[in-house]
Every structure is written in structure tokens, then in C-alpha cells.
């Protein structure tokens, strides 16, 4: 494997007395796509925002986040500002509130390109001083090209439109174009399509992954939908209550998950052909931040929990690149071992 | 255009809820174009049979929520009729309408927004009984307690206010509140959209068991096709204010007739079907043929004619509004 692009090591984030992320280890190589999956409150958005130093003023970070050679946890504001929207860009869920309602799409695109695109940006972290008259035609051409790339049919019309005149799907395409404006090496997409309907969702994710792959950039896709990430990512990390439960190659892992939580999630999700009454909900609820300790946080809902689960969960290597953090795994035979080697869960055809 | 969903036996009772050629328009928000009306539903005919769950799917703006509001009698259609057991709905606000309201309830999408944050859980569930004068406050609390127990709501949390509870617990409260007046007809508008996967399954199983136990008739509005196919007996696919396909859930999902249904199924996460790059949906003005034509991969000249395709019956209690349904290709 080549030199990793992003290395997150023993990373924890606390807000006040509450630790919302606990001892996270993740690596991301160039050209790779990693899915970060978890329920609400699992800390996936906090992790995404911590990478670019936007987790909020009250966040206390421990550990390291290395982007190439830069340690982002101790980087200066100036370094972070030049990275944000440039080498690392973040695409958010709610496009309508992420865009400025008072400016046209075109103006917002041109502003971002002028500040962040390698061909235009002059000096890191420079404050915005408005467009130079001579730059405008080039900026405009670049903006239209990016909009096309993001799958916008009528880029010209969209260029002159205000955000409220576009549909949710179109706004999200603009967000994608904006995220690509800085030619990022790492694109973090935080639930980029949750508010959209399924048809548009698939089109946008397709565009996004295609683009990232073509430029050999890395993608961190945050989602709560296992079906969705199984189609669009190479690797997956399952997050629960701020702990990583399991991480490995997406399709392999989802076909034969080792961690009881990942299995529970798959059994709780209906598919098109799930017969009635066969859903198995996970009992209980996600523990609140003040109910969390050092042990496995899933043990309160886990069907296989034993007394040993109160200890911090140890890494159990299933195979190279696939690790599961369940204290019971070393002592048990492979749960749900499929007879004949087929997948226990046919998630994707 | 007229299409009866119930089978043709002469002795069948009229369905619990039925919409006949219903169209609904909202007035324009523009002060200077007051006469202009936006039709959000056009010529909808559908019936909900007793003890069945009807799923309504479609993209945002397709009229799913308006249809459920009409079926609940919360609004009067601009044209067409909504019938309950074959009788027209009473006028909103009338005595008969109020009596009917207790027999039909709604479960809303966002439990955080549909509960009163200044009232404790038990009182909120008891309130409908007091409003409909079905019980004294003391009895109402007793019944509310029983219904909360039925949805497996922890008893020690009943005196709490909503801000102390999680989304899954709140959605249970909303369901208990909808069921406490013993309705026969319940509309669930995206009941699990705001819940986590692990909790979503709990709520789906709960709805399923309550439906069997209490003999409920349900309309289940959702954009999640997997959830709809799991919960529903029959399905209506809506697109731009029209029903484009109707039929038993199993058949519709196994072999869709309308190209839009096919597109929806292919786009469902985990379908494994590669993306069909589709054009952005262009607004087709009213009355110019099929509204799906701009995105349809089987488009033919007839599709852009003046007449929109009518919903016509198909074998196996199915119906489709398409000039060239997929089975005939």
C-alpha cells in the first residue's frame, strides 16, 4: 500500500466531561473510499469535523490526525484555513442551509474557485477581497465546467439562479461542485444525500465516487445506510457510541460481519424481499454520553454480552485489513459461519 | 379513469376509505396571481380496504401527504369525493366530523416536533380521550398507561417531558397517543424516517403487531421502498400528483409495470443496479401527456400527446397509468 493520505491515531474528542469519540484508529490511502457508518449520536459527524478542525470551540481533542505530514490536531489556524475547501473539502447534508441565500450560485462558485482552486488561489488563507475584473471570464468558465462535472444539466441557468430557486437535488449538486472546486485530495461527505429521494441520491453518489476515483482522491463517506455504502465504498468503519466496532473491506465485512452490532444492524434493516415478522430489532437504545465507560458500549444491548465485556474491547484481527472490536471473538467460533462459504447476509446482488 | 380496487363481488361492503376522482389544489402564494391554483393531486381514485395496509410511495412533492390529509378529512378536495364506508365525509368542524375524528388518527414523521414539550408523556397520551369526552381525566390516564405499556414504553418514564426521551421512545409515545382513542384507520406519515436503523425495526415490528392485534387499517407513507415492501399489503406509487401504479406490494416490487416504479426500485440503496444517468426532471406543464416522459427511457410519441395516460386495470388487482407498461414491452 502506498503512503497513507490520512492517519487517525488514538484519537478522542470530548465535550466537557463527556467523551464522544474514544480511541479511534483509521487510515485512508489515496484513491480509497472509506465509509463511516453509525447511528445518530455515534460521533461520525464529530469525527468528520475534527479532521478539519471544525468540531466546535468546546471540543477537546487527544491523539493525532495526520494528513500527509501535517498533524491537524496541532496545526495553526492558517494551515487549517488553507487546507479547508482546498486539499480537504467537506460536503454537508443540508445544501440549502450551507449555501448563501443572498448570492447567486455563480457568485458563490466563483468565490470558492478564486480562493481555493490551485490555478487561481494566491497565497494560503488570504482574506476575500472580491474578484479582479480580469479573472471573471476564467472563473466563470471554471464554475460552469465544475457544475457540468457535478451532473448539472443546465449549468448556465443554474449559474444565475439563487439557491431557493433550485430543488434539493440541484442544490446538492452545487455542493458537490463547490467541494470539488479546490481539487481536494480528501473529500469528506457527511450524509450528502440523506434529504434527497432515492433516484437523485444514487445519481449524485455515482457522480461523486466517479469523480473522486478519476482524480485518485480519497473519499470519507459518512452515512447511516449500510445498503448505500455497500454500493459506493471500498472499506467500512462501523461506529457505535464513539467507538469503532468493526472495520474492514465493505462488501466482505457486510456479507459476514463478525461484530454482534454490525450483525444486529443488518438483521434490523428490511430489504425488498424480507418476509413479514422476520426483522430482529436491537433491543434498547444507544447509551447517552454520560452513561459511557471504558468497556464495550454495546454490551447493554448485545445478545452475547458477558462479564468480560466491561473491559475495554480488544482488537481481533479477522484477516489483514479487517478488525473487529469484540471481546468475545477470540473465544468463540466464527458466529454465523456460512455453510459452503457463501455470505451470511446477501446485502447486495 | 374510474377504477375500483375491491374485487367485483356484488355483496362486498364499501371500503373503509375511498377517494373518487379526487383533485386538490392549493391557492397560489403569490399575492398578485390570486386566481392561479396549483394542482397537487389530479384525478386520484383509490380505496383502502379494511385491515389492510396501503403504502404510498413517491418523490417529494408528489402529493403523498396531501392524499393522506384528504383521506383523514383534514381538508376537503377541490373536486371529487372522499367516501368513508361509501358515505361522503362530513364537513370539517361539524359535529359528525368531530365524532369521526376519533376513529381516524395520524402518526407524524418527527416525534420531536409532534409532541408538546411542556406536557408530560402520560397526559399527552391521555389528552385525546378527554378531547373526545371518552373518559374522565382519571380514567383517561389509566387507559393511557395501558396503551403506553402496550407499546413497551418504560413505566418509570411516563411522568417525564419529551425532552428527556430518545427518538425511539418518543415515536412509541406518538403511536400510543394515536391508538388510545381506538381508531379504525391510522395514517402513518414517514413514521420511521427520523429514527435510527436499530430503533426503526422496533417501531416497524410494533406497528405490525398492533395492526394484527387491534385490526387496524393503515396508510403508510414513506420514501423508503424497503420499509414499504416490508409493511404494506398494497402499494400506490405517486408521481407529480398522479397515481402511476397500484397493486399488491409483492407483485409491484417483483415486476413493476410503470417505468417510474422501475426507476425507484433500481435506485433503492443496495439494489446493485448501476446508475442510469437521468436528466434533471423538467417541469412538464399540466395536460401535456405523461409527466414522466422527460425521464422515461421507453418514451414514445403518444406519451407527449395531449391526453395523459389513465390509470387502467391490470390482472391480479393491479393498475398502471402508462401507454406502454413494462409487461407489454
Q: How far is CA A120 from the centre of its chain?
A: 28
Inter-residue contact A38 to A46 (CB < 8 Å)? no
Of all residues in chain B, the one with the smallest CA distance to A347 is B270
What's the whole-number mean pLDDT along residues B111-127?
Answer: 93
Contact at CB, A227 and B199, closer than 8 angstroms:
no
Cβ of A156 under 8 Å from any chain B Cβ? Answer: no
Residue spans per domain, chain A:
1-87+183-349, 103-181
Residues of B with CB below 8 A from A268's CB? 197-198, 200-201
Residues contacting residue B99 through CB under 8 Å, at least 6 positions apart: none
pLDDT bucket at B3, cuts 50 / 70 / 90: very low
Q: What is the pLDDT of residue B1?
A: 39
Average pLDDT in chain A: 86
Measured between alpha carbons, how far is B144 from B135 in angstroms, rounded to an integer?
11
| Strand, helix or coil for residue A250 | helix
Measured between alpha carbons, how far is B43 from B287 in angstroms, rounded to an integer?
12
Residues of B with CB below 8 A from A277's CB? 205, 208
For residue A12, list its beta bridge partners: A62
Of A203, A224, A226, the CB nearest to B278: A203
pLDDT above 50 (res A113): yes
Residues of A with CB below 8 A from B168's CB? 285
Contact at CB, A349 and B269, closer than 8 angstroms:
no
Of B198, B227, B267, the CB nearest to A199: B267
Q: Which residues of chain B have a Cβ shorter than 8 Å from any chain A Cβ?
A: 59-60, 166-169, 196-202, 204-205, 208, 223, 225-227, 229-230, 253, 263-265, 267-272, 275, 277-280
Q: What is the pLDDT of residue B279?
A: 56
- CA B277 to chain A, closest CA, distance in angstroms equals 7
**Inter-chain CB pairs, A–B, below 8 Å:** 119
pLDDT above 50 (res A339): no
Could you tell me which of A163, A154, A220, A155 has the C-alpha nearest to residue A8? A220
pLDDT above 80 (res A304): yes
Inter-residue contact B39 to B77 (CB < 8 Å)? no
Share of chain B above pLDDT 70, in %: 89
Cβ of A223 under 8 Å from any chain B Cβ? Answer: no
Could you tell me which of A292, A304, A310 has the C-alpha nearest to residue A240? A292
Cβ of A224 under 8 Å from any chain B Cβ? Answer: yes
**pLDDT per position as a tens digit, A71-89:** 999 999 889 988 998 899 9
- CA A316 to chain B, closest CA, distance in angstroms equals 24
- CA B176 to chain A, closest CA, distance in angstroms equals 18
Residues of A with CB below 8 A from B109's CB? none
Of B197, B230, B275, the CB nearest to A274: B230
**pLDDT per position as a tens digit, A182-241:** 999 999 999 888 778 888 888 889 989 999 999 999 999 999 888 889 999 999 999 999
Contact at CB, B269 and A231, closer than 8 angstroms:
yes
Residues of A with CB below 8 A from B269's CB? 198, 201-202, 225, 227-228, 230-231
Residues contacting residue B7 through CB under 8 Å, at least 6 positions apart: B317
- CA B91 to chain A, closest CA, distance in angstroms equals 35
Question: Model ipTM?
Answer: 0.79
Inter-residue contact B229 to B253 (CB < 8 Å)? yes
Contact at CB, A198 and B269, closer than 8 angstroms:
yes
**pLDDT per position as a tens digit, A119-145:** 887 654 555 666 777 788 899 999 999
A71 φ, ψ to 5°?
-85, 110
Q: What is the 3-state secondary structure of chain B?
A: CCCCCCCCCCCCCCCCEEEEEEEEEEECCCHHHCCCEEEEEEEEEEEECCCCEEEEECCCCCCHHHHHHHHCCCCCCCEEEEEECCEECCCCCCHHHHHHHCCEEEECCCCCCCCCCCCCHHHHHHHHHHHCCCCCHHHHHHHHHHHHHHCCCCHHHCCCCHHHCCHHHHHHHHHHHHHCCCCCEEEEECCCCCCCHHHHHHHHHHHHHHHHHHCCEEEEECCCHHHHHHHCCEEEEEECCEEEEEEEHHHHHHCCCCHHHHHHHHHCCCCCCCCCCCCCCCCCCCCCCCCCHHHCCCCCHHHHCCCCCCCEEECCCEEECCCCCHHHC
Strand B217-221 and strand B185-189: pairing? parallel
- CA B197 to chain A, closest CA, distance in angstroms equals 7
Determine which of B58, B254, B256, B269 to mutate to test the interface with A (most A C-beta atoms within 10 Å). Answer: B269
Residues of A with CB below 8 A from B280's CB? 152-154, 169-170
**pLDDT per position as a tens digit, B210-235:** 899 889 999 999 888 888 988 999 99
| Strand, helix or coil for residue A297 | coil
Strand A186-190 and strand A6-15: pairing? unpaired
Of all residues in chain B, the one with the smallest CA distance to A301 is B198
Q: What is the pLDDT of residue B270?
A: 76
Q: What is the pLDDT of residue A146?
A: 93
Q: What is the 3-state secondary structure of A216-239?
A: CCEEEEEECCHHHHHHHCCEEEEE
C-alpha cell at B122: 402520560
List, edge to edge, every strand of the sheet that includes A243-249.
A88-91, A186-190, A218-223, A33-38, A235-240, A243-249, A322-324, A316-319
Q: Please state which of the ranges A130-144, A328-342, B165-179 shows the lowest mean pLDDT.
A: A328-342
- The CA distances from residue B290 to A306, B41, B67, B300, in Å, are 60, 14, 20, 10
pLDDT above 60 (res B182): yes
Contact at CB, B230 and A348, closer than 8 angstroms:
no
Residues contacting residue B189 through CB under 8 Å, at least 6 positions apart: B64, B65, B68, B106, B107, B108, B109, B221
What's the whole-number mean pLDDT along residues B112-141?
Answer: 93
Question: Which domains are present in chain B?
Answer: 2-27+37-103+183-320 (3.40.50.300)
Which secondary structure element, helix H or strand E, spans residue A191, and what is its range?
none
Q: What is the pLDDT of residue B298?
A: 87
Residues contacting residue B25 through CB under 8 Å, at least 6 positions apart: B37, B38, B39, B40, B78
Q: Burial letters for A237-262: b for 16+ Cβ neighbours within 10 Å, e otherwise?
A: bbbbbbbbbbbbbbbbbbbbbbbbbb
Q: Is the dihedral of CA B320, B42, B109, A206 positive or negative?
A: positive
Q: What is the pLDDT of residue B327?
A: 82
pLDDT bucket at A176, cuts 50 / 70 / 90: very high
C-alpha cell at A49: 469535523
Could you tell me which of A28, A18, A8, A38 has the C-alpha nearest to residue A261? A38
Of A151, A197, A271, the CB nearest to B226: A271
List, edge to edge, every strand of the sheet that includes B318-320.
B104-107, B185-189, B217-221, B53-57, B234-239, B242-248, B318-320, B312-314
The residue ranges of DSSP E strands in A47-152, in sequence order, are 59-67, 70-71, 88-91
**pLDDT per position as a tens digit, A38-73:** 887 788 889 998 998 888 888 899 999 999 999 999
Residues contacting residue A23 through CB under 8 Å, at least 6 positions apart: A10, A11, A12, A63, A243
Share of chain A above pLDDT 90, in %: 45
Inter-residue contact B246 to B236 (CB < 8 Å)? yes
Residues of A with CB below 8 A from B230's CB? 270, 274, 276, 279
Q: What is the pLDDT of residue B8?
A: 44
Residues of B with CB below 8 A from A230's CB? 269-270
Considering the domain delimited by A1-87+183-349, tell me its CATH architecture: 3-Layer(aba) Sandwich (3.40)
**pLDDT per position as a tens digit, B248-307:** 999 999 999 999 999 999 888 877 787 766 555 555 455 578 888 888 888 888 888 888
Average pLDDT in chain B: 86
pLDDT above 60 (res B2): no
Q: What is the pLDDT of residue A331?
A: 72
Q: How many residues does chain A have?
A: 349
Could you tell me which of B57, B68, B54 has the C-alpha nearest to residue B233? B54
- CA B210 to chain A, closest CA, distance in angstroms equals 12
Contact at CB, A39 and B198, closer than 8 angstroms:
yes
Of all residues in chain A, the one with the smallest CA distance to B227 is A270
Determine which of A96, A262, A285 to mutate to test the interface with B (most B C-beta atoms within 10 Å). Answer: A285
C-alpha cell at A234: 471500498
Angle at A305 between CA A299 and CA A309, to 5 degrees: 65
Instruction: Say how many CA atoms lie within 13 Å of B223 toward its Cβ.
Output: 21
CB atoms within 10 A of CB A162: 15
Determine which of A206, A270, A345 to mutate to test the interface with B (most B C-beta atoms within 10 Å). Answer: A270
Measured between alpha carbons, how far is B109 from B42 in angstroms, rounded to an integer?
25
Residues of A with CB below 8 A from B229's CB? 270, 272-274
Could you tell me which of B283, B280, B286, B325 has the C-alpha nearest to residue B308? B286
Q: What is the pLDDT of residue A340?
A: 45
Contact at CB, B269 and A273, closer than 8 angstroms:
no
| Strand, helix or coil for residue A37 | strand
Measured between alpha carbons, how far is A278 from A269 in angstroms, rounded to an integer?
10
Cβ of A346 under 8 Å from any chain B Cβ? Answer: no
pLDDT bucket at B9, cuts 50 / 70 / 90: very low
Contact at CB, A198 and B169, closer than 8 angstroms:
no
pLDDT above 80 (res A305): yes
B252 φ, ψ to 5°?
-60, -40
CB atoms within 10 A of CB B18: 22
Determine which of A240, A272, A343 to mutate to test the interface with B (most B C-beta atoms within 10 Å). Answer: A272
Contact at CB, A269 and B226, closer than 8 angstroms:
yes
Inter-residue contact B304 to B239 (CB < 8 Å)? no
Cβ of A264 under 8 Å from any chain B Cβ? Answer: yes
Amino acid at each position: 500500500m502506498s503512503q497513507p493520505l490520512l492517519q487517525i491515531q488514538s484519537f478522542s474528542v470530548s465535550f466537557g466531561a463527556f467523551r464522544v469519540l474514544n480511541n479511534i484508529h483509521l487510515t485512508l490511502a489515496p484513491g480509497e473510499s472509506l465509509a463511516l457508518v453509525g447511528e445518530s449520536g455515534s460521533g461520525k459527524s464529530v469525527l468528520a469535523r475534527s479532521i478539519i478542525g471544525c468540531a466546535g470551540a468546546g471540543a477537546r481533542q487527544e491523539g493525532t490526525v495526520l494528513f500527509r505530514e501535517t498533524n491537524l490536531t496541532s496545526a495553526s489556524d492558517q494551515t487549517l484555513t488553507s487546507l479547508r475547501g482546498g486539499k480537504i473539502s467537506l460536503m454537508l447534508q443540508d445544501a440549502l442551509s450551507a449555501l448563501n441565500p443572498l448570492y447567486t450560485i455563480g457568485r458563490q462558485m466563483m468565490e470558492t474557485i478564486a480562493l481555493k482552486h490551485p490555478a487561481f488561489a494566491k497565497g494560503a488563507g488570504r482574506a476575500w477581497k472580491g474578484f479582479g475584473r480580469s479573472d471573471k471570464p476564467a472563473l466563470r468558465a471554471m464554475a460552469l465546467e465544475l457544475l457540468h462535472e457535478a451532473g448539472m444539466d443546465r449549468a448556465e441557468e443554474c449559474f444565475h439562479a439563487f439557491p431557493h430557486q433550485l430543488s434539493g437535488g440541484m442544490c446538492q449538486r452545487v455542493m458537490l461542485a463547490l467541494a470539488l472546486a479546490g481539487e481536494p485530495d480528501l473529500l469528506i461527505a457527511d450524509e450528502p444525500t440523506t434529504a434527497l429521494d432515492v433516484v437523485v441520491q444514487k445519481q449524485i453518489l455515482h457522480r461523486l465516487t466517479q469523480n473522486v476515483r478519476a482524480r485518485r482522491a480519497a473519499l470519507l463517506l459518512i452515512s447511516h445506510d449500510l445498503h448505500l455504502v455497500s454500493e459506493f465504498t471500498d472499506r467500512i468503519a462501523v461506529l457505535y457510541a464513539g467507538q469503532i466496532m468493526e472495520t474492514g473491506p465493505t462488501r466482505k465485512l457486510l456479507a459476514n460481519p463478525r461484530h454482534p452490532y454490525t450483525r444486529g444492524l443488518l438483521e434490523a434493516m428490511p430489504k425488498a424481499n424480507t418476509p413479514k415478522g422476520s426483522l430482529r430489532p436491537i433491543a434498547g437504545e444507544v447509551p447517552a454520553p454520560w452513561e459511557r465507560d471504558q468497556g464495550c458500549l454495546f454490551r447493554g444491548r448485545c445478545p452475547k454480552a458477558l462479564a468480560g465485556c466491561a473491559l475495554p474491547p480488544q482488537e481481533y484481527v479477522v484477516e489483514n485489513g479487517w478488525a473487529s472490536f469484540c471481546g468475545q471473538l477470540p473465544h468463540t467460533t466464527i458466529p454465523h459461519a456460512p455453510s459452503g462459504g457463501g455470505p451470511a447476509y446477501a446485502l447486495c446482488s | 379513469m374510474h377504477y375500483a380496487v375491491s374485487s367485483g363481488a356484488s355483496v362486498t361492503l364499501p371500503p373503509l376509505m375511498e377517494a373518487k376522482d379526487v383533485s386538490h389544489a392549493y391557492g397560489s402564494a403569490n399575492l398578485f396571481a390570486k386566481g392561479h391554483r396549483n394542482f397537487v393531486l389530479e384525478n386520484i381514485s383509490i380505496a383502502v380496504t379494511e385491515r389492510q395496509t396501503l403504502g404510498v410511495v413517491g418523490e417529494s412533492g408528489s402529493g403523498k401527504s396531501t392524499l393522506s390529509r384528504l383521506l383523514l378529512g383534514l381538508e376537503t378536495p377541490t373536486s371529487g369525493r372522499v367516501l368513508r364506508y361509501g358515505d361522503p365525509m362530513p364537513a370539517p368542524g361539524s359535529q359528525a366530523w368531530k365524532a369521526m375524528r376519533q376513529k381516524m388518527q395520524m402518526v407524524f414523521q418527527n416525534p420531536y416536533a409532534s409532541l408538546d414539550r411542556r406536557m408530560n408523556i402520560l397526559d399527552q397520551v391521555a389528552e385525546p380521550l378527554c378531547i373526545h369526552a371518552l373518559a374522565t381525566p382519571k380514567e383517561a390516564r389509566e387507559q393511557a398507561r395501558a396503551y403506553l405499556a402496550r407499546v413497551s414504553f418504560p413505566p418509570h418514564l411516563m411522568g417525564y417531558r419529551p425532552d428527556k426521551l430518545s427518538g425511539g421512545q418518543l415515536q412509541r409515545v406518538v403511536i400510543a397517543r394515536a391508538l388510545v382513542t381506538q381508531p379504525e384507520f391510522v395514517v402513518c406519515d414517514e413514521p420511521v424516517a427520523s429514527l435510527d436503523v436499530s430503533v426503526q425495526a422496533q417501531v416497524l415490528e410494533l406497528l405490525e403487531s398492533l395492526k394484527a392485534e387491534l385490526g387496524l387499517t393503515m396508510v403508510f407513507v414513506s420514501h423508503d421502498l424497503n420499509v414499504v415492501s416490508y409493511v404494506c399489503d398494497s402499494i400506490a406509487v405517486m408521481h407529480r400528483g398522479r397515481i402511476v401504479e397500484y397493486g399488491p406490494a409483492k407483485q409491484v416490487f417483483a415486476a413493476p409495470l410503470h417505468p417510474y416504479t422501475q426507476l425507484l426500485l433500481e435506485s433503492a440503496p443496495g439494489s446493485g443496479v448501476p446508475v442510469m444517468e437521468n436528466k434533471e426532471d423538467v417541469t412538464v406543464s399540466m395536460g401535456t401527456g405523461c409527466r414522466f416522459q422527460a425521464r422515461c427511457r421507453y418514451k414514445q410519441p403518444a406519451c407527449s400527446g395531449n391526453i395523459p395516460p389513465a390509470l387502467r386495470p391490470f390482472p391480479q388487482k393491479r393498475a398502471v397509468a402508462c401507454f406502454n407498461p413494462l409487461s407489454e414491452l
